[in-house]
A and B are shown apart, each in its own frame.
Chain A
Amino acid sequence: MQMNEPEAITAGRKIGDVILDLRNISLSFGGVKALTNISFDVREHEIRAIIGPNGAGKSSMLNVINGVYRPQQGEIIYRGQHRKNMDCYAAAKSGIARTFQNIALFKGMTVLDNIMTGRNLKMKSNFLLQALYWGPARREEIEHRRKCEEVIDFLEIQHIRKTPVGRLPYGLQKRVELGRALAAEPQILLLDEPMAGMNVEEKQDMCRFILDVNEQFGTTIVLIEHDMGVVMDISDRVVVLDYGKKIGDGTPDEVRTNQDVIDAYLGVAH
């Protein structure tokens, strides 16, 4: 399989320089402060986890990164480019793909078609040519289909290729959503609770896929996850949010022993 495989990585992956830097991000909805003055960075090829109790602002953070929300303050530096905020389209175009907390697939469409939508931004031929399935559009379609088949092969979902997504169990739908994101050949993959609601076996599978994506394609991964075991196992660095503030940042071990983090999770006597 030859997706965007970086040549530098031969034996295992090598964590590179900072690819995404978030500086002093603050976001509020009216009087509600979702994020307050948060800074952290993401390095190339790493798995970066964002954790925190419910309502801590984790999903808001992801939404800031791919431009769904525009922060009132702060700066985003992506690949050396300074921006006040991201723009959804630009983010997708520049290689940021994501999955959602509540699955956002087209339920009536097949797995293959859903994954194909991930290639949308890579399609160049115009609507008319595509409708006629003629000339360059046809060649292009075949090429995109091949890429999608590589993703299907990678995620081992050949047996449901032609099944409408709505008929699939939850765990498989999550996998299809990951497939759609992968089809975009992202440089940064944002995963919003990829393992929520899964059983142990499905979680193990998903962990394996995330690690494989990271290792084989060198994709940088930012993930939100509630399962501490998973987070501590697979991530390189973890940032901890609580009530929209950053309370910890570092390797899993550092975070585990951080008193603020322990207090936030276990509660503290006042």
Chain B
Amino acid sequence: MRRSTILWFLIATCLGVALFMVKHEVQQREEQLAALHRQILASQEAIHVLEAEWSYLNRPERLEALVRRHLNLVPMDNQKIGAVELLPMRLPPAGAIGDMPVDGLAPTLAGGPPLPVGRPLMLTRETRR
């Protein structure tokens, strides 16, 4: 009788302590979570402000003024824009230039596939001037 009473008392105490610890832990974690949320919100707000500042600093007007002051950039000349097709293909090997065949194909090298000869660059009216 006395023994079992002590046993039950011990169990109850242990459970009580465990319950308290769990509750304390949960409380602590919840506080931590809330702190993290606050931190996230603060960071998000900071990002928001920085984004606004970033786009303010990236105004085309300002960038243009900075470029004019510090760099040698000029608006792109559209004559300098080309297409990949305008690039000459790889030149035939140096030794083969002498006997260039007329059909537009470089001589084959020991049975390899024929290499196309570079197309001359197309000149526009403007570049010829």
Asked if A and B bind, the verdict is no
User: Contact residues of B with A, CB < 8 Å?
Assistant: none
A residues neighboring B (CB under 8 Å): none
